[in-house]
Structure 1
Amino acid sequence: MTATIVSPRLMRIGGGSVGQAAEVLGLFGLSRPLVVTDPWMVSSGTVERALLAPLRAAGLRLEVFSETVPDPTDTVIAAGAAMLRGGEFDCLIGFGGGSPMDTAKAMAILAAAAPGTPMRSFKVPAQADRGLVPVICIPTTAGTGSEATRFTVITDTETDEKMLIAGLGALPLAAIVDYELTFSVPPRTTADTGIDSLTHALEAYVSKRANPHADSLALSAMQLIGRHLRPAYHQPRNAAAREAMMLGAMQAGLAFSNSSVALVHGMSRPIGAHFHVPHGLSNAMLLPAVTEFGLNDALPRYAEAARAMGVATREDSDEAAASKLLEELRALNQELGVPTPKDYGIGGNRWEGLLPLMAQQALASGSPANNPRVPSEAEIIDLYRRVYA
């Protein structure tokens, strides 16, 4: 098979690397960034202390767009793209969790299009290969992997659809991956983003679009995340665990960017769009049941994933190893306090009423087609029912 491999041109990785942002921009001749972040990063002083002040000290002229929301919407992207078009910016810096990074990517794509073009014009199967300016991503959580991927996910406010947008226009020019930025991340976010990154790695590895390059990254990511997610959750200042989780999340992002995600993500996006469940949390709600659904169709791969995570050994048969993987995913959800949709507060009648639409949106995203066992619409509805309570 032939695989097309993409990644940022430069990745600066390690504790304290955010302080080298001006140097990274200088390597590409960039000096007029528009920094995309969220209101909390501004109000807490985090973005000022970690990024803006050092950039100003280095003589860079910058402005800030901080209107991002947890599930980036097409209306926010339009506002950001208008600001980008109206200024003399030569790059975007996405600083924060997945939402600011995804927002920056989508802003670059939309700003390169003719004025008035809707964001939905770029959803898959369209290819969003052009951005107005390059994007540099600086993650502050260990989860989305957006700093290393050719994807962004944006909600269409007219249809409540989470749109997957893919292409080289969404691929960052550079990433700065500093695990010290995650020390203050609360346990709930650590858990949700951690399981999100585990899902990226696992789905990339079992995907029908898997390839040897992505496989090596996915296995390394699962090894790091499998051993360090619990310590990072229980001991937020554990530097070794935080560093391993940040590296694992980045590798998982590279893995699925060069392979794909699958059924978990296809089913997760509608939950986030209709019920405003954080993306990593909705992945976690689905991961055990969806893994079980496709287990026998990629048994050797799921078994190898269990061994990489350290929950099975070479002496275990594939059947035993895959069974241990399911046990681990369920145990991880329990220890990290992952609720069911019902326990999260989603009403049963509304959940049931939206199942046909959510199943259709999941299939339309294309991700379920990459699953080892490709589901029908009826099977997706059944899986939604199984995970509800």
Structure 2
Amino acid sequence: MQAFKFNTTKSIIFRPSASAELGEIAGALLGESVLLITDPGLRKLGLCDKGIASLEASGCNVTIFDEVEADPSRTTLEAAVEAGKSANVTGVIGFGGGSSMDVAKLAALLIGSGEDLDEAWGVEMAKGPRLPLVLVPTTAGTGSEVTSVSIITVGDEEKRGVSSPVILPDIGVLDAELTLGLPAPITAATGVDAMVHAIEAYASANANNNPVSRMLAREALRHLGANIRTVVAEPGDVDARGAMLLGSMLAGQAFANSPVAAVHALAYPIGGTFHIPHGLSNALVLPHVLRFNAPDAYALYAEIAADAFPELASIEGSQVRCSAFIDALADLSSELGMPTRLRDVDIPENALPKMASDAMLQARLLVNNPRAVSEADALQIYKAAW
């Protein structure tokens, strides 16, 4: 049995309306002054209001930073840190999608330690300590509430990551009711994003790919595959929403320890340059990366095919089942009403060479791919997706 390590969030609370009880759940942990980080859309919808009221009722002074954008910039992170320092906060809450949670992770680190962000980029470079940290996801996609990764956009296009157990939160609060209002396109894209996390974790070439991550990845795919069509077609189904949120969390635990690979590496230039949402960026390249990987990874993909799509269980032969799995994933995006080609999101063909070059900057991800990817390979994958 190979050696491995497995890190995850200390406490996970999964129940409807849990986000309205943040004071009772985390007030004592967070202390007397809390920085709540979210985005303007969620703030306007009032999704944070009950949680804020609960915190205030428990004696917490709440400072709200609601300026997080999609693919958050370093400037936004620095503004959140300054807001927290000015209020002398003792704890941080990230309330929202992956962007808000990513900013919250690094705000807790930078406020708590005074660490230089430029020395924290990369794998296990962050030293800490951080402030107490609670994350409340409002989408079933990123799994950020159980991952040790935060991604920030630096400059105009480049995405950089901090990956360290130091930024794992103390508590993840999963409240399916928060996801009920998500529009169908976001529901679909974040759901496919979670499936990508599970697939890449299962097939990761990382030395820490381990039995626990593989088990969680398969369970995640069972939840996600069985419910993604329902939540898009019937957005008020709280049980299906809960199953998606749980699947997203399980996939997050899997890839937090058995890291993702080329799908994410090739998705980042799509988001960084053309500002396409992360989940959709992943979906656009997913089948094409898997087809590229298939010569080396077909047996792995065949093993998980029926977890996501039970009807594939009857297909004999690993290569044939792998091919059917990839086709089913491509068909799923189309069925869910998502764009399926790069041209569908207005990416011009002449942008593909630079995207391929930019993807090579994601070496920390590409090393995990089951098949080596060159810049020429990346360009061919993009051409297939275009």
The corresponding residue for 2:148 is 150
- Return the alpha-carbon distance in structure 2 between the equivalents of residues 269 and 29 of structure 1: 33
Residue pairs, 1:135-146, within 5 angstroms: 135-146=133-144
Residue pairs, 1:83-94, within 5 angstroms: 83-94=83-94
User: Which residue of 185, 196, 201 corresponds with 1:199?
Assistant: 196
1:170 aligns with 2:171: no
1:18 aligns with 2:19: yes
Percent of aligned pairs with the same amino acid:
34
- Native 8 Å contact 1:72 1:103 kept in 2: yes
Deviations 1:112-159 (A, max 9, x none): 4547x3x443222452242431210000110000000000100002x5
- Return the alpha-carbon distance in structure 2 between the equivalents of residues 312 and 353 of structure 1: 36
Residue 88 of structure 1 aligns to a residue whose secondary structure is: coil
Deviations 1:289-324 (A, max 9, x none): 001111131222101110211242166322232122
- Native 8 Å contact 2:352 2:379 kept in 1: no
Q: CA deviation at 1:169?
A: 2.8
The corresponding residue for 1:319 is 319
- Return the alpha-carbon distance in structure 2 between the equivalents of residues 229 and 333 of structure 1: 11
Residue 23 of structure 1 aligns to a residue whose secondary structure is: helix
Structure-2 change in CA distance of 1:30 and 1:111 (3 Å): closer
- Return the alpha-carbon distance in structure 2 between the equivalents of residues 370 and 193 of structure 1: 22
- Return the alpha-carbon distance in structure 2 between the equivalents of residues 385 and 110 of structure 1: 40
Q: What residue identity is the alignment partner of 1:337?
A: G
Report the more deviating stretch, 275-284 or 295-304.
295-304
The corresponding residue for 2:343 is 342
Q: What residue identity is the alignment partner of 2:157?
A: D
- Return the alpha-carbon distance in structure 2 between the equivalents of residues 315 and 344 of structure 1: 34
Residue pairs, 1:214-293, within 5 angstroms: 214-293=213-292
Structure-2 change in CA distance of 1:20 and 1:316 (3 Å): farther
Q: CA deviation at 1:85?
A: 2.1
Q: CA deviation at 1:19?
A: 2.5
- Native 8 Å contact 1:14 1:179 kept in 2: yes
- Return the alpha-carbon distance in structure 2 between the equivalents of residues 14 and 320 of structure 1: 40
1:188 aligns with 2:159: no
- Native 8 Å contact 1:160 1:274 kept in 2: yes
1:4 aligns with 2:5: yes
RMSD: 1.7
Q: What residue identity is the alignment partner of 1:43?
A: K
- Native 8 Å contact 2:146 2:256 kept in 1: yes
The corresponding residue for 1:354 is 354
- Return the alpha-carbon distance in structure 1 between the equivalents of residues 54 and 111 of structure 2: 27
- Return the alpha-carbon distance in structure 2 between the equivalents of residues 238 and 356 of structure 1: 40
| Runs (4+) off by over 6 Å | none
- Native 8 Å contact 1:92 1:104 kept in 2: yes
- Return the alpha-carbon distance in structure 2 between the equivalents of residues 126 and 3 of structure 1: 15
- Return the alpha-carbon distance in structure 1 between the equivalents of residues 195 and 233 of structure 2: 17
The corresponding residue for 2:77 is 77
The corresponding residue for 2:105 is 105
Structure 2: gaps of 5 or more residues: none
1:367 aligns with 2:365: yes
- Native 8 Å contact 1:11 1:174 kept in 2: yes
- Native 8 Å contact 2:33 2:87 kept in 1: no
Structure-2 change in CA distance of 1:387 and 1:9 (3 Å): same
- Return the alpha-carbon distance in structure 1 between the equivalents of residues 15 and 323 of structure 2: 36
The corresponding residue for 1:160 is 157
Deviations 1:59-104 (A, max 9, x none): 3221101111111111111111122222221110000111110110
1:60 aligns with 2:57: no
Q: What residue identity is the alignment partner of 2:369?
A: N
- Native 8 Å contact 1:311 1:325 kept in 2: no
Q: CA deviation at 1:221?
A: 0.1
Q: What residue identity is the alignment partner of 1:69?
A: E
Report the more deviating stretch, 287-296 or 119-128.
119-128
Number of equivalent positions: 381
- Native 8 Å contact 1:96 1:141 kept in 2: yes
Report the more deviating stretch, 83-92 or 174-183.
83-92
Residue 367 of structure 2 aligns to a residue whose secondary structure is: helix
Structure-2 change in CA distance of 1:76 and 1:30 (3 Å): same
Structure-2 change in CA distance of 1:99 and 1:383 (3 Å): same
TM-score by length of 2: 0.94
Report the more deviating stretch, 21-30 or 67-76.
21-30
Residue 155 of structure 1 aligns to a residue whose secondary structure is: strand
Structure-2 change in CA distance of 1:42 and 1:304 (3 Å): same
Structure 1: gaps of 5 or more residues: none
